[in-house]
Structure 1
Amino acid sequence: MTALVATASAVVGLAAGPFLALLADRVPERKPLTGHGLRSPGMAPITAAAVVLFAAIGARFGADWAVPAFLVFAGALLVVTVTDLRLFLIPNRIVYPTLAAATVLLTAAAGASGDWDALRRSVVGGLGAWAAMLVLHLVNPRGMAFGDVRLAAVIGAFTGWLGYGHVFLGLFLGFVAAAGVGLVLIVTRRRTAKDPVPFGPFLAVGAMAAVLFGDALLRWYRGT
């Protein structure tokens, strides 16, 4: 069954990829999603990434009611990664609909599975991640944009479904990835310490790592 879900998820990724590329291209500039054809910059790599990520989500969860929610999550992370890399922008028009989708789809998953504890963790995780990043934003607004704070709420909601440890792990890995890449860029003189670096892609990487590998990483950390 897991292989079937992974294959079906990959097919969904193949179908969704062009639309995700369209969102990444047109949403930041408030262009209409219809008209002018469906071609958009980066369609091929975004579609390929969607296929891989969606298949990985399907393989991770198998026949689980939460799969649709996490496919939406993966797609949203792809879009904000592209927009932040291109424009230093995490669009509200992506973040807020993703939060709405999380509310609907995760509530439906909790109702279907009877796992209301997971839904409670999702709410607490989203609020907790948002609050933690808000503090960092207030301390250093130039170093932590408010778009990152909003994205953290989305990440906390989805990783919280899996466990509070996954929330911490997702954010922690995002910071580690950002620090590592930033250090390399400074050492190679491609950036200075004062140059801005988009943080959203690192949060996205940390979040997906927590979703896909969090169970194994947390077991390793706890020595179990």
Structure 2
Amino acid sequence: MHVYLIVGAAVWGMASGLLLPRAAYRLAVPAEQPWARACPAAHPVAGWLGPARCRACGPQEERYGAGYGIALACAVVCGLLAWRAGAHPELAVWLLLTPAGILLARVDLAVHRLPDVLTLPALALTAVLLGGAALLTRHQGDWPRALIAAAALFVLYGVLFFVNPAGMGFGDVKLAPTLGLALGWYGWPAVVGGTFAGFLLGAVVGLALIATRRATRKTALPFGPFMLTGALLALLLAA
């Protein structure tokens, strides 16, 4: 049964990931600019879900955005979460959040931005769904603790943003409570471990880029992917 659950989760991840490339392209614009409405050759882009392709550009240049990497990442993450979380109500929450997390990481890597159109609905959806999961008998977490952890991480990242706005974007602050909900569901060790892992990954990658002369100490790095990866690692360990 557990094998079928993992396979089903991976299939869900692949299917949902295949719908994300167009949204990733349209959302990957600098702050204060409208969402992308055309391919690089100025042909209109319709809708938000589906592949990032433009048939008007011709067979050689029809792809203008991310390919199958997003779908593969979603499939792997969903499969891993199903393997660790098992057949418990909170797994449905993690599977629904995974595409949003992958999309956020992709956009942040591209333009150093975590759009409100993703972070704020993700926060509300996670809070509501975990509240529903807490009403079911097979859940393995604590909803009130998750809410407290969300508030704690929001305050922590808010203070860091206030102290050093150049090193912490406000999009990171708005992403933090969603991760706090997920990590707090499993306990405070997961909250501390996931948060620390995010900072550690950011520091390691930053030092590696400096050592290879591909960045300097003043180079801005997107922190959202590190936050998301650290939270994922903690969830896999705590589930």
TM-score by length of 1: 0.89
Show the counterpart of 1:189.
213
Single out whichever of 26-35 and 118-127 deviates more from structure 2. 26-35
**Counterparts in 2 of 1:83 and 1:36: CA distance versus 1, 3 Å:** closer
The answer for the alignment partner of 2:79 in structure 1 is: 55
Greater C-alpha radius of gyration: 2
Aligned residue pairs: how many?
215
- Equivalent of 1:205 in 208, 229, 239: 229
Q: Is the 8 A contact 2:24 2:66 kept in 1?
A: no
Asked whether the equivalents of residues 27 and 93 of structure 1 are also in contact (C-alpha less than 8 Å), the reply is no
Aligned residues: percent identity?
33
**Residue matched to 1:8:** 8
More helix by share: 1
Question: Compared with structure 1, are the counterparts of its residues 82 and 127 closer, same or farther at alpha carbon in structure 2 (3 Å cutoff)?
Answer: same
1:125 aligns with 2:153: no
In structure 2, relative to structure 1, the CA distance for the partners of 1:37 and 1:153 (3 Å cut) is: closer
Q: Per the alignment, do residues 81 and 159 of structure 1 end up closer, same or farther by CA in structure 2, a change over 3 Å counting?
A: same
Residues 90 and 139 in structure 2, CA contact (< 8 A), matched pair in contact too: no
Deviation at 1:98, TM superposition (A): 0.7
CA distance in 2: counterparts of 1:45 and 1:206, whole angstroms: 20
CA contact (8 A) 1:125 1:167 kept: yes
TM superposition shift of 1:60? 1.1
Residue 101 of structure 1 deviates from its aligned partner by: 1.3
Which residue pairs with 2:20 in the alignment? Answer: 20
Q: Which residue of 171, 177, 188 corresponds with 2:201?
A: 177
SS of alignment partner, residue 63 of structure 1? coil
- Secondary structure of the residue aligned to 2:142 is helix
TM-score normalised by the chain length of structure 2? 0.84
Shift of 1:35: 3.9
More deviation in 108-117 or 154-163? 108-117
User: Is residue 174–residue 206 contact of structure 1 (8 Å, CA) maintained in 2?
Assistant: yes
- Where does residue 190 of structure 2 map in the other structure? 166
**Structure 2: distance between partners of 1:127 and 1:157:** 9
| Offset of residue 114 of structure 1 | 7.2
Matched, 1:38 2:53: no
Cα distance in 2, alignment partners of residues 63 and 187 from structure 1:
44
Contact 2:88 2:140 (8 Å CA) reproduced:
no
Larger CA deviation: 95-104 vs 133-142: 95-104
Question: Does the 8 A contact of 2:141 with 2:186 survive in 1?
Answer: no
Query: Post-superposition shift, 1:73?
Result: 2.2
Is the contact between residue 210 and residue 217 of structure 2 (CA under 8 Å) also seen in structure 1?
yes
Equivalent residue number for residue 67 of structure 1 = 91
**CA-based RMSD:** 2.0
Indicate conservation of the 8 Å contact 2:88/2:139, yes or no.
no
Contact 2:140 2:186 in 1 (8 A): no
Return 5+ residue gaps in structure 2 as ranges. 30-34, 38-44, 53-64
What code does the residue aligned with 1:15 have? A
Q: How far apart, CA to CA, are the structure 2 residues paired with 1:78 and 1:4? A: 23
Q: Deviations over 1:49-78 (max 9, x none)?
A: 111111111111111001111112222221
Q: Secondary structure at the match of 2:19?
A: helix
